[in-house]
C-alpha cells in the first residue's frame, strides 16, 4: 500500500500550501539553515511519506509527552506530529498489554531499517522488574525495538542522561539510552521537559535530509543546544553590570536584575529556552523570576542546591559562544 505524502495529508486536512511554506521557513530558521533551504525543505518534506515512529516511555513522569501533546492545536509544529505514523506509544494508545505489544512488533517487522525510535525516560538496570511494560523489562524492549530502527531520538533528560531517576543514590540503577544502544545514530533532546519545537524540528530535518542534524559533544542538536541560556538571556546586560538580585523579594528581583546569585545555572546550561520560550512563546523560567535549574545538562539534580551560585561570579571566564560540535549529522 502506498503511504500518504505530507502534501496529500495537508491538503486533506485543509492546510494551505502557504501554511506549509510558513512552517518550512520557521523550521529552517530554528535549525539555523539558510533561507535558500526553505524550498528544499518544502520539496523533500512535502513528498515524504508517513514515517513510522515507535515511542517507548520508560522511567519517566510523562512530562516529556505532555510537553509535545499539550501544545495548542493546530500549531505549526503539530503539522509534523500529525503526519507521522505513531504506531506505538504505551501511555496514550488505546490498546494495552498484548494488543499493544503486537502493534509494536508488527510496526518493527513491516518497517525494518526505516522507522524512528523515540524514547523518553531512563532505563533501570538494577533490577529488570523495577519498570516493565506488559511484563517486558525496559532494557529488553529497548534492545528489541532499537535493533531495526533507522535512528533513535532520546527525548528529555532522563532518556538522554539518566535524569532524575539516576539522581543519587540512583536506587534503580538508571542509565540513559546511549548507555545501552551503541550501534545506532542517537540524538539527545534533553530538557525536563524538552522544548517541543526541538523534537519537531529534528523530525522535520530527518524527513528532509534523511539524516540527523549536526550534534554537540553530548549528541544534542547544535541548532538548539549551541548556545547557553546565559548567552541569549534578556537579563544578560544586568550580569555584565554586576546588578544581581540577592533574594526573591528584593529590589533587584523586582527590577528584573540577573538571577546569578540566586543560583541561576544559565551560564553552564545549553538550551534554547531563552529564544524559543515556553507555552507558545509566553516566557521561560528566568522571565518568570526563577533561576534556570540547568535541566538540560547531565546530572543537573546532583550539582548542589538550585539556589547556590555556580561560583563567585568574578571567576566566570566562559566566553559567550558556541557549544562544542562533536560531529556532522548522521
Residues that bind other proteins (CB under 8 A): 7, 11, 15-19, 21-23, 25-26, 28-29, 32, 34-36, 72, 74-76, 236-237, 240, 275, 277, 280-282, 314-317, 319
Nearer to other proteins, 28 or 215 (CB): 28
Q: Where are the alpha helices (DSSP H) in the chain?
A: 6-12, 17-30, 37-47, 63-69, 78-83, 97-110, 138-146, 156-161, 196-209, 222-225, 236-240, 251-254, 273-276
Measured in degrees and rounded to the nearest 5, phi and psi for residue 306 equal: -65, -20
Q: Cβ of 193: how many Cβ atoms within 10 Å?
A: 26
User: HEC profile for 76-91?
Assistant: CCHHHHHHCEEEEECC
Tell me the closest approach of the beta carbon of residue 272 to other proteins, in angstroms.
Answer: 11
Nearer to other proteins, 114 or 241 (CB): 241
Strand 136-137 relative to strand 132-133, pairing: antiparallel
Nearer to other proteins, 147 or 318 (CB): 318
Tell me the closest approach of the beta carbon of residue 229 to other proteins, in angstroms.
Answer: 15
Tell me the closest approach of the beta carbon of residue 17 to other proteins, in angstroms.
Answer: 4
Measured in degrees and rounded to the nearest 5, phi and psi for residue 108 equal: -65, -45
Nearer to other proteins, 78 or 91 (CB): 78
Task: Please report, for residues 108, 128, 185, 224, 261, the alpha-carbon distance to residue 297 in angstroms, rounded to integers and kept in the order given.
Answer: 32, 26, 20, 13, 19
Distance CA 321, CA 316 (A): 14
Nearer to other proteins, 126 or 281 (CB): 281
Distance CA 220, CA 111 (A): 26
User: Residue 113's beta-bridge partner residues?
Assistant: none
Tell me the closest approach of the beta carbon of residue 321 to other proteins, in angstroms.
Answer: 11
Tell me the closest approach of the beta carbon of residue 303 to other proteins, in angstroms.
Answer: 22
Strand 325-327 relative to strand 215-216, pairing: antiparallel
Nearer to other proteins, 109 or 317 (CB): 317
Tell me the closest approach of the beta carbon of residue 149 to other proteins, in angstroms.
Answer: 31
Tell me the closest approach of the beta carbon of residue 65 to other proteins, in angstroms.
Answer: 22
Q: Cβ of 309: how many Cβ atoms within 10 Å?
A: 19
Nearer to other proteins, 82 or 299 (CB): 82
Amino acid at each position: 500500500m502506498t503511504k500518504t505524502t505530507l502534501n496529500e495529508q495537508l491538503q486533506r486536512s485543509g492546510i494551505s500550501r502557504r501554511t506549509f511554506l510558513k512552517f518550512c521557513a520557521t523550521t529552517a530558521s530554528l535549525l539555523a539553515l539558510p533561507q535558500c533551504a526553505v524550498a528544499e525543505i518544502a520539496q523533500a518534506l512535502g513528498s515524504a511519506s508517513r514515517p513510522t515512529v515507535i515511542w517507548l516511555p520508560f522511567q519517566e513522569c510523562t512530562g516529556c509527552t505532555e510537553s509535545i501533546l499539550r501544545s495548542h492545536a493546530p500549531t505549526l509544529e503539530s503539522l509534523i506530529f500529525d503526519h507521522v505514523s505513531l504506531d506505538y506509544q504505551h501511555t496514550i494508545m488505546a490498546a494495552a498489554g498484548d494488543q499493544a505489544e503486537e502493534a509494536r512488533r508488527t510496526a518493527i517487522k513491516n518497517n525494518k531499517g526505516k522507522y524512528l525510535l523515540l524514547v523518553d525516560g531512563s532505563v533501570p538496570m538494577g533490577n529488570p522488574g523495577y519498570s516493565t511494560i506488559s511484563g517486558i523489562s525496559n532494557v529488553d524492549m529497548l534492545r528489541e525495538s532499537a535493533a531495526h530502527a533507522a535512528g533513535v531520538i532520546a527525548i528529555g533528560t532522563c532518556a538522554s542522561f539518566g535524569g532524575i531517576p539516576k539522581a543519587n543514590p540512583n536506587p534503580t540503577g538508571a542509565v540513559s539510552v546511549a548507555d545501552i544502544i551503541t550501534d545506532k545514530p542517537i540524538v539527545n533532546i534533553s530538557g525536563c521537559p524538552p522544548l517541543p519545537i526541538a523534537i519537531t524540528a529534528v523530525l522535520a530535518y530527518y524527513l528532509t535530509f534523511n539524516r540527523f542534524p549536526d550534534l554537540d559533544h553530548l549528541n544534542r542538536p547544535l541548532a538548539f543546544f549551541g548556545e547557553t541560556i546565559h548567552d541569549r538571556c534578556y537579563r544578560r546586560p544586568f550580569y555584565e553590570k554586576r546588578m544581581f538580585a540577592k533574594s526573591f523579594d528584593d529590589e533587584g528581583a523586582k527590577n528584573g536584575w540577573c538571577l546569578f546569585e540566586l543560583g541561576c545555572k544559565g551560564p553552564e546550561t545549553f538550551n534554547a529556552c531563552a529564544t524559543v520560550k515556553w507555552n507558545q512563546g509566553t516566557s521561560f523560567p528566568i522571565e518568570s523570576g526563577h533561576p534556570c535549574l540547568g535541566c538540560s545538562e547531565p546530572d543537573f539534580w546532583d550539582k548542589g542546591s538550585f539556589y547556590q551560585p555556580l561560583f563567585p561570579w568574578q571567576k566566570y571566564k566562559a566566553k559567550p559562544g558556541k557549544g562544542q560540535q562533536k560531529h556532522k549529522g548522521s
